[in-house]
Amino acid sequence: MKGNSIQGILSIALSARVLTPLDVELLLAHVLGVSRTYLHTWHEKIITEQQKEAFESLVARRTAGEPVAYLIGSKEFWSLPLVVSKAVLIPRPETECVVALVLDKVNKASGNLRVLDLGTGSGAIALALAIERPLWNITAVDRSRAALEIAVLNAKNNLITNVEFIQSDWFSCFEAMGPKKIAFDIIVGNPPYISPNDIHLAGEIRYEPQEALISLPDGLQDLKKITREAPPYLVSKGWLFLEHGFDQSVFVKKTMESAGFTEIQTYKDLADLNRVTFGRKP
């Protein structure tokens, strides 16, 4: 790339017509440690050769398919700035539908509810609910210690204190409690639901942790396991909300029915695809 002004660097990167303007601006803003607004306000500012080389390296990695969120180490979710690394999935807009649905279906005046977020990853769902409902007591679990470290950092960075993070393989951390098991008012989860043969695994998501994406052998096992094991951990009239693949809603509904849930419904995401199914314990 030639030229060392911000405007020149951006123009050259965009002339290749490989990356979007948003991607290019996010990468350069990250290298310079400034906002995207700064890039346009101070477009004649000269950057150093070291900064230029760092930017070119990120452009090359992005061109190869690496997600921007991993390159810059952050992603916004529910207006919360979240740190992300390759230890966690990148929070997605469709998952915000889970948060919105929980907030919509559960009475705001319900007060001091207990919530369990299964497979919390970066903490996105738990932290979004926590910021909206500061009186709720939220427990967020993940089997990955590295993921939990990211989630704890995100809670700290966003000054959120009503979430407890525990390392657990779904409900395993509660099993030793026997008949005195903790009962939650809400259980929410975005478990792995992709089949190992899914064609989308060849895209950008190949950079993301496969154990958080793929459910062997057919993409359905974790959804099935959570649904079947959830009832003892829910209070009467407690809710289970699950994000799933666009073509898995019928399976999730039938599994919830067989597990005894009632009031089962599926909601679509912003792309008009079936994305979240919820049910209620009798």
Q: Say if residues 173 and 167 touch (Cβ distance below 8 Å).
A: yes
Residue 1 lies in a domain: no
d(CA 240, CA 219): 19
Could you say which of 35, 64, 93 is where a domain stops? 64
> Any idea what the CATH number is for the domain that residue 10 is in?
1.10.8
Q: Which two tokens stand for residue 6?
A: 């911000």
Domain closes at, from 44, 64, 84: 64
Residue 234 belongs to a domain: yes
Task: Decide which of 18, 37, 64 is a domain's last residue.
Answer: 64
Same domain? For 236 and 130 the reply is yes
pLDDT in tens, 246-258: 999 999 999 999 9
Whether residues 210 and 253 fall in one domain: yes
CB 185 within 8 A of CB 115: yes
CATH number at residue 109: 3.40.50.150
Mutual angle of helices 249-258 and 221-229, in 10-degree steps: 30
Domain with 56 in it? 6-64
CA 98 distance to own-chain centroid? 10
Q: Which helix (H) or strand (E) holds 110?
A: none
Do 28 and 150 fall into the same domain?
A: no
Lookup result for tokens 């990120």:
58
Tens-digit pLDDT string for the chain (282 aa): 445 888 888 888 888 777 899 999 999 999 999 988 888 888 788 989 999 999 999 999 999 999 999 999 999 999 999 999 999 999 999 999 999 999 999 876 677 899 999 999 999 999 999 999 999 999 999 999 999 999 999 999 999 999 999 999 999 998 876 555 689 999 999 999 999 888 878 778 899 999 999 998 999 999 999 999 999 999 999 999 999 999 999 999 999 999 999 999 999 998 899 999 999 999
192 and 82 within one domain: yes
Are residue 247 and residue 192 in the same domain, yes or no?
Answer: yes
Residues 203 and 244 in one domain: yes
If asked whether residues 197 and 95 sit together in one domain, one would say yes
N- to C-terminal Cα separation, the chain: 64
Range 175-182 contact pairs with CB under 8 angstroms and sequence separation of 24 or more: 181/232, 181/233, 182/114, 182/139, 182/233
Number of domains in the chain: 2
Same domain, 186 and 160: yes
User: Does any domain span residue 69?
Assistant: no
What is the structure's pLDDT at 101? 95
Q: Are residues 228 and 250 in the same domain?
A: yes
Same domain, 170 and 247: yes
Nearest to 106 by CA among 226, 238, 234, 243: 238
pLDDT for res 1: 44
Which pLDDT tens digit goes with each residue over 85-125?
Answer: 999 999 999 999 999 999 999 876 677 899 999 999 999 99
Do 119 and 241 reside in the same domain of the chain? Answer: yes
14 and 84 inside one domain: no
Q: What is the tens place of the pLDDT at every residue in 6-31?
A: 888 888 888 877 789 999 999 999 99
Inside any domain, residue 116: yes
